[in-house]
Structure 1
Amino acid sequence: MKLYIMRHGQAEPMSDAWPDSERRLTDEGITEVQQASEWLSQQCESLEQCYASPYRRAQETQNVMNERLNCQQLKTLSCLTPEKRVHETVTELAAEISVAGVTTALIVTHMPLVSYLVAEIDKAQQPPIFATAAIAEIEFDPQTGTGRLQQLMQPEHC
């Protein structure tokens, strides 16, 4: 199956005025995500499942992606927050994808988790650096929780 792992778009800077989980996308972040959705729409005909972190910027990214891609099902997973352990996250994602029985899925999460997910799924990879709104395309086997990185799209390449 095709698994797309995406970092959220550019978000507001950290502030004492609100918690990290409430940071919103900037206008530039929205534009980045729109460009990423255009690229992803050329890679796959449809997305069956979209998973996102509960943090506001990831939810906003998922919503912008969905405007173009019309994902069949949206789901929020707490295992996609930045501080989660990568091995447990891969295990939970593999189980979710297996149960759903989908052939395409998008995950929207955060640095450094996006990088660690790629390296955990494809052991031949070092953790790649993700720009905001970057997407890794992985050929993924949910039965084993392993896969192979096919390509990494950075927003300037849209």
Structure 2
Amino acid sequence: MKVIIMRHGEAEMFASSDAERQLTPNGVDKNLAAADQLVAQGIVNIDKVLVSPYVRAQQTWDNIGHKFDARSIETFDDITPYGDADDVFEYVCALADVEALDSVMLVSHLPLVSYMTSVFASNTTPPMFVTSGVAVVDFDLTKRSGEISYQS
């Protein structure tokens, strides 16, 4: 199974709350470039997309969603910046098993994207993510372990 982990694009510095920060024009451009890189890697079909409820993550998916054939898109409250990577891992594994998923994309935030990557890519130090950064993990659901096959 492919687990695609993406950090939202560059966001404005200030808003009424962290959850309400919106993407900058540069963030939109970098999101599109990141999506094009995924397509160049052969990632076009995504069985399930889970998106943080924060505005900048929702806008990130809104910017790039047209580049992919996504079967199902859901807002997932557990992937905000300080979500628990182990809980997300267990949820995604259960979801993949029940729904027979071949691919899952998570659109989230620092620091969670780093921790999720290290949980799905076993024995990997949590990598840093730039805005619009992506990691693709080839994950074996049976062994519950994986390796990073692409990172930007």
CA RMSD of aligned residues (A): 1.4
User: Which residue does 1:89 correspond to in 2?
Assistant: 88
1:34 aligned to 2:32? yes
CA contact (8 A) 1:48 1:73 kept: yes
Query: Unaligned regions of 5+ residues in structure 1, if any?
Result: 154-158
Letter in 2 for 1:27: P
Q: 1:21 to 1:144 in 2, by over 3 A?
A: farther
| Cα displacement (A) at 1:45 | 3.4
| Cα displacement (A) at 1:47 | 1.6
1:133 aligned to 2:97? no
Percent of residue pairs bearing the same amino acid type: 30
Give every structure 1 segment of 4 or more consecutive aligned residues whose post-TM-superposition deviation is greater than 4 Å: none
CA contact (8 A) 2:47 2:71 kept: yes
CA contact (8 A) 1:138 1:150 kept: yes
| Counterpart Cα distance in 2 of 1:144 and 1:107 | 21
Query: Unaligned regions of 5+ residues in structure 2, if any?
Result: none
CA contact (8 A) 1:10 1:26 kept: yes
Where 2:11 maps in the other structure, the secondary structure is: coil
User: Which residue does 2:116 correspond to in 1?
Assistant: 117
CA contact (8 A) 2:48 2:105 kept: yes
Residues matched between the structures, number? 151
User: Which residue does 2:69 correspond to in 1?
Assistant: 70
CA contact (8 A) 2:44 2:69 kept: no
| Cα displacement (A) at 1:98 | 2.1
Q: Alpha-carbon deviations, 1:25-49, whole Å to 9, x = none? A: 1100000001111111122231222
TM-score under structure 1 normalisation?
A: 0.89
CA contact (8 A) 1:90 1:145 kept: no
